Structure 1
Amino acid sequence: MKPIRSSRRALALASMAAVGALTLTACNDDAGASDTPTTPPATTAPAGQTAAPSTAAITPAATTPAAPSGGASDTGAAPAPAGSAPAAGTTLKLGEAATIPFSSGSTKGTIALAVTSIEKGDPADLADLKLGDKAKGLVPYYIHYKITNAGSTDLSYTSVNHMKGLLADGTEAQELTVIGSFAKCKSASLPKGFTNGQSSTSCAVAMSPEASKIAGAEYWGEPYTLGKGLNWK
């Protein structure tokens, strides 16, 4: 009887190992092939080790049109009360900051956010990301933005993302999510010691068809939603 139990136990352990191997393979495949990934936190390699190669995936644009490029009066949104966040649909000029509430997990604070520039890239910039036909006919644009801590909460290591590109007709552009480092458009968590008055910059990649262009940007993080956020042109 003992040999039978040992045999069953060995089979069970082998089955568990096989399941674990399949799970790891699926995760690796998803990381390299998914078209609709969630935005991952920035990662760095431990000291003495080489960082893993960057990978990327293009997220299709939502079918719901983004907010028109006009100001709050164009969208029918009521003006924001004095001292509160700008109303959804408000359009600001490049470089103009909006002071808004910010939350990341249990951390809540206030930031001043401004899109500072929208830079047209070159399709050749994406060569190392190995996107293949997924990027055919698309041009990358780099949305550079500045974050300033305008509150009393230390926002160290939180991330300000939810920044999307808007095409010339006002609709949402496709988004490129890069896992790892991308020199043309660096995005990282806010640094240590990010207290009141501290500023940092970040970048988001938007993809435009060759026949169009990225004409604006939208921030749709809380308290806003996609298509009803803050716009910059």
Structure 2
Amino acid sequence: MKTSLGDAMKRRALCTTAVGALVLTGCSDTGQSLKFGETANVSGDRTGSVGVTVVRVEEGSSADLSGLKDASKYKGKTPYYVHFKLTKTAEGNDDDETSHFEVSKDGQPLSELIVFSSFDATGDPSNPLVTRRFDRCEGVSHTTYKEAAEGQSAEGCAIFLADDKTGEPSSVAWTRRSKTLATWKK
């Protein structure tokens, strides 16, 4: 069977298009691309939907970590504070427990630091305990979000650590079960 140069080029173009479509299909789990301050509307874990907004990412200093227990293990680390807002956009999205933020610098993940409040004994019988919190960045209460009515928001902050030489994060992603639902970049 004899084929012309034009037929061969058409077949090559079709093959190239098919391969390109397959490559793009493999990348479809990247979700919505947004800038800080924009809201991604994503389905809830089980029902409903949630509006997720990364308001800003703020650089802290290593001094912020000096009050933590075993503070020496954070030497050479810079905290970055991801300020966010979760808005219940449809009734029923009460338990989105499998979604979380992942923060990275040029594809290298930063470590999330979760700080719990502590209760310290004062020795004073009239005020036996004092609560210490990490006021610089507080997470959102799961109860606050769960009890919010449709259209209400809960604001919070998440802490991520980078080596001092790493620099500011380049992206913040909202993920669920290894699937990226939305990514924010400056």
- Shorter-chain TM range is 0.5 to 0.7
Cα separation, 2, equivalents of 1:199 and 1:190 = 12
Unaligned runs of 5+ in 1: 1-72, 79-86
CA-CA distance at 1:209 after TM superposition: 1.1
SS of corresponding position for 1:162: strand
For residues 19-49 of structure 1, the C-alpha deviation after alignment (integer angstroms, 9 at most, x for no partner) is xxxxxxxxxxxxxxxxxxxxxxxxxxxxxxx
- Please tell me the residue identity of whatever aligns with 2:152: Q
CA-CA distance at 1:115 after TM superposition: 0.5
Cα separation, 1, equivalents of 2:81 and 2:66 = 16
1:116 aligns with 2:58: no
For residues 58-77 of structure 1, the C-alpha deviation after alignment (integer angstroms, 9 at most, x for no partner) is xxxxxxxxxxxxxxx98953
CA-CA distance at 1:100 after TM superposition: 0.8
Cα separation, 1, equivalents of 2:31 and 2:90 = 24
SS of corresponding position for 2:149: coil
- Please tell me the residue identity of whatever aligns with 2:138: K
Distance verdict in 2 for CA 1:74–1:175, change over 3 Å: farther
Aligned equivalent of 2:142:
189
For residues 99-123 of structure 1, the C-alpha deviation after alignment (integer angstroms, 9 at most, x for no partner) is 11223xxx63210101110000011
SS of corresponding position for 2:154: strand
SS of corresponding position for 2:142: coil
Aligned equivalent of 2:11:
none
Cα separation, 2, equivalents of 1:166 and 1:76 = 21
Cα separation, 2, equivalents of 1:75 and 1:144 = 32
Distance verdict in 2 for CA 1:91–1:179, change over 3 Å: same
For residues 141-165 of structure 1, the C-alpha deviation after alignment (integer angstroms, 9 at most, x for no partner) is 000111111112263x876861122
Aligned equivalent of 2:112:
175
Any conservation in 2 of the 1:163–1:218 contact (CA below 8 Å)?
Answer: yes
TM-score (norm 1): 0.55
Of the structure 1 ranges 111-120 and 182-191, higher mean CA displacement relative to structure 2 is found in 182-191
Distance verdict in 2 for CA 1:229–1:170, change over 3 Å: farther
Q: Which has the higher strand share?
A: 2
Cα separation, 1, equivalents of 2:24 and 2:83 = 25
Aligned equivalent of 1:166:
104
Cα separation, 2, equivalents of 1:149 and 1:109 = 8
Give the RMSD, CA atoms, in angstroms: 2.7
Cα separation, 1, equivalents of 2:150 and 2:161 = 34
Cα separation, 2, equivalents of 1:74 and 1:94 = 25
The equivalent position to 2:39 in structure 1, one of 90, 97, 105, is 97
Counterparts in 2 of 1:1-233, with a 5 A limit?
77-78=27-28, 87-103=29-45, 108-153=47-92, 155=94, 162-167=100-105, 169-180=106-117, 181-187=133-139, 188-191=141-144, 193-213=147-167, 214-222=169-177, 225=178, 228-233=180-185
Any conservation in 1 of the 2:50–2:93 contact (CA below 8 Å)?
Answer: no
Unaligned runs of 5+ in 2: 1-22, 118-132
* Aligned residues between the structures: 145
Report sequence identity in percent. 29
Larger gyration radius, structure 1 or structure 2: 2
Indicate the structure whose relative CO is greater, using CA pairs within 8 Å and at least 6 residues apart.
2
